[in-house]
Structure 1
Amino acid sequence: MKWLMRILFVVVAVLGLVIGALLLMPGDKLGAILAEQVKAQTGRDLTLSGDVRLSFWPVLGMETGPVRFGNASWAESEPMLSADSLAVGVDAAALWKGDLRIKRVFADNPVLRLETSEGQVNWEFGTSAPASTTNKTESAGTNEATGEVTLDQLELTNARLIYVENGATQMDFSGVTLAASWPEVTSPMIMQATMAVPGGAVEVDLKIPDLPAFSDGDVTALELSLTAPGGEIGFDGRVNLAGEMDGTTKVVARDSERMFAAFGQAGVYIPPGLGRKANIVAHMTYTQDGRISLRDMTAQLDNNRFKGEADIAISDPPKIVARLVTGDFDLSRISESEPTKGGTSKSSEPPVDGWSKEPIDASVLALANGKIRLTANSIAVPGMTFGKSDLTLSLDRSRAVLEMHPATLFAGQLNGQMVANNRNGLSVGGNITASGIDLKQALATLVGVERLSGSAAGSLEFLGVGQSEDQIMRSLSGKGNLDVGSGVISGFDLDRLMGRGTGSGGTTVFNSLTGSFTMDQGVLANKDLLMSLKNYRADGAGQVGLGARDIDYLFTPVALRANSGQGISVPVRIVGPWSNPSIKPDLTKVIEAAADVKVKELEDDAKQKVFEKVGSELDTTITDSNQIEDALKKKLEDEAKKGLLKLLGGD
């Protein structure tokens, strides 16, 4: 028994001496020993500055001053981890049993730099394995118990988190406070983080139910909730170490512009109808190559609700392929200017009569590439409303093509495409065919003319260049044609003008109207307008200033049954601005029509009476005005002869 007590005494004494030696060892010596052990286990350099203090029971712990932990050899020269101070403590009793129960990890002002490059990640550690490692690995299938690792408390104060992918910094967040806990191997790992951002703070709550499986690279469950100024983002699904995700995503934005600013996109202006307030729910899949797939998506953007699917490739700019279905899509306020801090529009200039000269900001065309197909019951845009429409918008390097197959507008249908190109200055163009168009509604909306109504069909090719509405309209070129069935012209009564009856209350009803036109430098020219009426035909020719918003047009109606079937024409000139053109008929023709006689007949009758009177006086027959002069000369010659004979004494 005495020998047992002696052995125990020796062991305690040795332990006491070791502990005492450690306690009395200078901090730099302790730091050097720890650095050597870390180097042996990870292959990375650990640099400890200042004193290193140890504790042994019940918590085996270490506290240091400034610390730097080296990066991977292939990564950048900056350390993977640095901090002003570091404190680590483990449960000594659990460690004695072979388990690593981390009681605490505290770090002040740490900087954590995570890097990836060509499939490598800097958070994987390793050195060349010793020869005995293989044997140990092969015997891992025995019943020998393996140690467990847990974490009671992790706290990072005022941390900076940097994520670098292939040499480019993708994320750089500072002012982060992070706390994590994983008290048991079978317990979920729970983490909370707070980060200061413009306008407030972002708070993150993360829960991984099976941390060991996640650490081994398995696909595991994940619950994520992110609260930011202006809204929240949530995810409930599965993830792996590569960052790939699959699950339900929900985005709620009560103030989208504030939310964008919180994530570093300050100054983003979202027009009404496109998501100043948003609520989006979808099944999301994210792959390691930066592709996002959204299925079973429901999106509420302001008062507009969509369903559909989308695929997004994260790039610069992003590429989007989407198919969306909606009911009534309201974009009637999309052209509103961005408000100033005072709450008013940036542009306070009073409206003027004419096209706007405000510069058009077409930079939105460069925000993304891709193709978006939209099916809607109606689409309201400033000044007009499309009916049921099927549209496809293609975006490619600041060039947008809108295909209509078909679009419903002005009670008719449009097929074809419109293009906006901002690669080298803004230009717009299109090639459109139309049928069943309400002409009055179309003209009133597009050019402010309300005098002509009917159902129209036709085609239009156009191209305009400029940085404002005014420049584009004054540069328009192209061609087209128009074919209108029965309709009405308001503003003048052709029956009354032609002297037939009382008219029809200031309107003219026609059976058909056809014509073609060309456009050059914002001026539309037409030479072949033909309008058919019951008793009339009307021809037209002239030009319409699309840029100047004026008209100079000669409209010539012909009364087909007048003049013994030869017809009577009454030209009408339409001159002036679109808003109030002057309509001036030829008054001479109006008088002719009203009296139902020809002015030429009156003139001929008057001449005949003059000829008869002069012929009677001159005792001859006059049928031509030239004969009057000849008859007068002859009469004077005869009278002169008579006078001369009398003077000479003759008979």
Structure 2
Amino acid sequence: MRWVWRALAGLAVLVLILVIGVMLIPTERIARLAADQFEKATGRALHIEGEVSPRFWPVLGIKTGPVTIANAAWSDSATPLFAADSVTIELSASALLGGDVKILGIASQRPRLQLERSKSGEANWEFQPEPVATPDGAGDTAPAVNAPAGPTAFTLERGLISGATLRYIDHGTGQDLVLDGVDAEISIPDFTGPFTLNARAVASGQPLSISAEGGVFSAFADGRVVPLTLDLTIGQNRIGFVGRGGWAPRAAEGALTASLSDIPALGAALGTAVSAPPTGFGADRLSVTGQVMLDEKGALYLRGAEIIADNNRLLGDLDLSQGEARPKISGNLRADALEFAGLAGGGGSPGPGGGAAGGMQARGWPRDHIDVSALGLVDANISLAANSVDLGVVKFGETRFMLTVDRARAVFDLRQLAAYGGAVSGEFVVNGRGGLSVGGNLSLVGLDVAPLMQDLAGWDRMITKASLNLKFLGVGNSIDEIMRSLKGDGSLTLGKGELRGLDIAGMLRRLDTSYVGEGQKTIFDGIAGTFTILDGNLTTSDLSLVAPYLTASGAGRIGLGDRDLDMRLRPTAFPGGGEGTGGVMVPLRITGSWADPTYRLDLEAIAREKMEAEAKAAEERLKQEAKEAEARAKAELEAKLKSELGIEAAAEESLQDAAKRRAREAVSQEAGRLLEGILGGN
């Protein structure tokens, strides 16, 4: 960029040659001479078409026809770096006579500027002058490149650009930004003094303006760091900087103030569609202040940062670096109380039956669209510590977690999370790649169930401590869709407590379902079970409850999406409990919505189970009678064989084996008698 200023100064010096030359030399030769001098100074071809007209009154100057400056050799674009229908330069004649270049004004008609950065980082606005041959020995010459020198001293009272078009293309990142209607004014009253720049433009339909003031223009033109003040506005957003800056190499440090109350306009100006953030993330107010530093690689370091997002205030340090596909933010933040009720939908306002701040509807979950498109703008690796966090649906106490964002997928690694008198640990994931999904692997220990269920569902009848292990995944763009799609599994353990509004033991004693309502309760020693979740329905088959006067097993479904339930409990009252229940077992059916469940004793199940029990008993009786008849027949057979044939079974010997044994003995005895007769006859 140093050569840009050199080119500007060289072009101004050429004006004097042109003004004098047009009176003596044809305009075509004048234009060719100026183009040759510009190319030697910058290494780029300059084309001046049409007539070159001098101006002597009221000031000395020159006006050209169409002008173009060639693009970099590595660019494959046919569009030049700069093009204008005409360029007018006005000089101070008296200053020229004194040997100074004092530019009174530079103006261009319909200028077009195309800035490009290659994949390797080369910029097409960085000029390289042509090498100059220097003597080498006797009569020989060897090419050598001039060492960089400071720009020629000049002043510019007023430089104007009106109705320009500026296009910036980054071939490395794919960014393509176009500024239309660019009006700019630059003033350099003293080459070694301060300079100012004011510009306005339109970027993707968003108004943009910038004001800059710098000190010691000669040093800034040479790339060195100078005092610098910037004020940038995009839509309703405003970014200010007061400090020092330079561009060779790129460097800046100073105070940053940013008011980003119009995020969609900022995204549109940068060529990215971004929705307004939810409440708590800057829906009404978003500001950033701190000390910022910029290094030569383009990385930003924000120290002592204060971030105000609606009612939230965060402090800490942040680093912003350019990744392969998108910027990356790293840092550490801390806060007192954080409110993110907007994540729950429903505007963050409490609804009927929905808890103190959950925004729940009595018979449904919020259906507000949850927009997480901002996750795709940057990658992140941020640690956050807060004294409390309100997510609208649930609330947490002291919180410590690590947030990692990679390609629109955010992972919350929960290092410390106090919640409802207990603690939560594990991992929670928000995935914004191609839609929205949430999931996690969480362990919850010692949570107070009543306030938790009040926030989740507006239901506070369970007074106990809970421990829960949960794996889950839900897909959808609202809480309602996510709850209806949930799948996963887990286990639940409840300690001693009470279930208000339901007296199970009273129902069993009186076989009366009226033991429901205010003043009724079931005291228990513990509840435990495992469950699976599929399509927003939680099912369990091994729920167990132990209470002072009863036990119960349970199975059924809890609709997490529809907020309903269909559970069957099989409670058994202990004998002698209170009024003497005698071991009564009556299945209890609980159905309906969470807001208004229905309780009924399953008498049909009692009759069915009684019939099944009687049938089983009858079957056992028949089996027993058959065994007894078989035993009697066997005994009668043994007695008859013994009396008639002399067959008697030995211990652990069947009648069949005894008969075979007796037959063998008889055959053996008869064979012996026959053998004796034969031998005696001889």
If the TM-score is normalised by the length of the shorter chain, which range does it land in?
0.7 to 0.9
Percent identical residues: 31
| Corresponding residue for residue 246 of structure 1 | 253
The answer to whether 1:281 aligns with 2:305 is no
Q: Distance in 2 between matches of 1:545 and 1:169?
A: 47
| Corresponding residue for residue 11 of structure 2 | none
Taking structure 2 as the reference length, what is the TM-score of the superposition? 0.72
| Corresponding residue for residue 109 of structure 1 | 110
Q: How many residues align?
A: 556
Deviation sequence 1:220-251 (CA, Å, 0-9, x none) = 32211123331311112232224433322111
Q: Distance in 2 between matches of 1:317 and 1:119?
A: 16
2:558 alignment partner, one of 534, 538, 544:
544
Corresponding letter in the other structure for 1:532: V
Task: State the secondary structure of the residue aligned to 1:23.
Answer: coil
Q: Is the 8 A contact 1:58 1:91 kept in 2?
A: no
Q: CA RMSD in A?
A: 4.0
Q: Is the 8 A contact 1:439 1:454 kept in 2?
A: yes
Deviation sequence 1:270-310 (CA, Å, 0-9, x none) = 22221132221022223343432222110111111111222
Corresponding letter in the other structure for 2:307: A
The answer to whether 1:63 aligns with 2:63 is yes
Q: Distance in 2 between matches of 1:356 and 1:98?
A: 76
| Corresponding residue for residue 575 of structure 1 | 590
Equivalent positions of 1:154-233 (< 5 A) are: 154-166=159-171, 170-197=176-203, 201-233=207-239
Equivalent positions of 1:194-593 (< 5 A) are: 194-197=200-203, 201-241=207-247, 242-261=249-268, 264-265=271-272, 268-276=275-283, 277-315=285-323, 316-336=325-345, 353-354=363-364, 363-423=373-433, 427-447=437-457, 449-465=459-475, 469=479, 472-494=482-504, 496-497=506-507, 499=509, 505-548=519-562, 549-562=564-577, 568-577=583-592, 578-585=594-601
Q: Distance in 2 between matches of 1:103 and 1:517?
A: 82
How big is the shift at 1:71?
Answer: 3.0
Q: Is the 8 A contact 1:98 1:148 kept in 2?
A: no
Deviation sequence 1:293-350 (CA, Å, 0-9, x none) = 2221101111111112222233533322232212221121334489xxxxxxxxxxx9
How big is the shift at 1:72?
Answer: 3.3
Corresponding letter in the other structure for 1:397: R
- Greater CA deviation, 450-459 or 48-57? 48-57
Q: Is the 8 A contact 1:498 1:559 kept in 2?
A: no
Query: Mind listing any 5+ residue stretches in structure 1 that lack a counterpart?
Result: 1-17, 339-349, 591-651
Q: Is the 8 A contact 1:515 1:526 kept in 2?
A: yes
Q: Is the 8 A contact 1:159 1:175 kept in 2?
A: yes
Q: Distance in 2 between matches of 1:20 and 1:404?
A: 77
Task: State the secondary structure of the residue aligned to 2:467.
Answer: strand
Cα distance 1:190–1:333, how it changes in 2: closer, same or farther (>3 A)? same
Cα distance 1:127–1:580, how it changes in 2: closer, same or farther (>3 A)? same
Deviation sequence 1:58-108 (CA, Å, 0-9, x none) = 955221122222233334443222211211133344334443222221211
Q: Distance in 2 between matches of 1:252 and 1:563?
A: 69
Q: Is the 8 A contact 1:153 1:182 kept in 2?
A: yes
- Greater CA deviation, 202-211 or 470-479? 470-479
Deviation sequence 1:459-481 (CA, Å, 0-9, x none) = 22233456665665455443322
Corresponding letter in the other structure for 1:224: L
Cα distance 1:354–1:491, how it changes in 2: closer, same or farther (>3 A)? same
Q: Distance in 2 between matches of 1:171 and 1:588?
A: 74
| Corresponding residue for residue 39 of structure 2 | 39
Task: State the secondary structure of the residue aligned to 1:126.
Answer: coil
How big is the shift at 1:188?
Answer: 0.5
Cα distance 1:20–1:353, how it changes in 2: closer, same or farther (>3 A)? closer
Corresponding letter in the other structure for 1:385: K
Q: Is the 8 A contact 1:293 1:310 kept in 2?
A: yes
Q: Is the 8 A contact 1:536 1:560 kept in 2?
A: no
How big is the shift at 1:415?
Answer: 0.8
Task: State the secondary structure of the residue aligned to 2:83.
Answer: strand
Cα distance 1:574–1:411, how it changes in 2: closer, same or farther (>3 A)? farther
How big is the shift at 1:351?
Answer: 6.9
How big is the shift at 1:541?
Answer: 3.7
Q: Is the 8 A contact 2:505 2:550 kept in 1?
A: no
Task: State the secondary structure of the residue aligned to 1:568.
Answer: coil
Task: State the secondary structure of the residue aligned to 2:342.
Answer: coil
Task: State the secondary structure of the residue aligned to 1:131.
Answer: strand
Q: Is the 8 A contact 1:511 1:534 kept in 2?
A: yes
Cα distance 1:537–1:289, how it changes in 2: closer, same or farther (>3 A)? same
Cα distance 1:97–1:198, how it changes in 2: closer, same or farther (>3 A)? same
Cα distance 1:249–1:172, how it changes in 2: closer, same or farther (>3 A)? same
Cα distance 1:159–1:552, how it changes in 2: closer, same or farther (>3 A)? same
**Larger RCO, structure (CA 8 Å, separation 6 or more):** 2
Cα distance 1:364–1:238, how it changes in 2: closer, same or farther (>3 A)? closer
Q: Distance in 2 between matches of 1:409 and 1:239?
A: 47
Corresponding letter in the other structure for 2:61: G
| Corresponding residue for residue 91 of structure 1 | 92
- Greater CA deviation, 399-408 or 442-451? 442-451
Q: Is the 8 A contact 2:274 2:373 kept in 1?
A: no
Cα distance 1:478–1:49, how it changes in 2: closer, same or farther (>3 A)? closer
Cα distance 1:303–1:21, how it changes in 2: closer, same or farther (>3 A)? closer
Q: Distance in 2 between matches of 1:559 and 1:246?
A: 78
How big is the shift at 1:356?
Answer: 6.2
Corresponding letter in the other structure for 1:207: E
Q: Distance in 1 between matches of 2:32 and 2:439?
A: 73
Task: State the secondary structure of the residue aligned to 2:307.
Answer: strand
Q: Is the 8 A contact 2:346 2:368 kept in 1?
A: no
Corresponding letter in the other structure for 1:286: L
Cα distance 1:217–1:475, how it changes in 2: closer, same or farther (>3 A)? closer
1:124 alignment partner, one of 122, 127, 131:
127
Q: Is the 8 A contact 2:47 2:67 kept in 1?
A: yes
Cα distance 1:35–1:479, how it changes in 2: closer, same or farther (>3 A)? closer
Deviation sequence 1:387-427 (CA, Å, 0-9, x none) = 22122222223433222222233332111112344557654
Q: Distance in 2 between matches of 1:487 and 1:252?
A: 51
Q: Is the 8 A contact 2:275 2:371 kept in 1?
A: no
Task: State the secondary structure of the residue aligned to 1:402.
Answer: strand
Q: Distance in 1 between matches of 2:407 and 2:72?
A: 38
Q: Distance in 1 between matches of 2:258 and 2:436?
A: 34
Corresponding letter in the other structure for 2:567: D
How big is the shift at 1:374?
Answer: 2.1
Q: Distance in 2 between matches of 1:472 and 1:24?
A: 82
Q: Distance in 2 between matches of 1:553 and 1:132?
A: 103
Q: Distance in 1 between matches of 2:223 and 2:98?
A: 27
Corresponding letter in the other structure for 1:583: Y
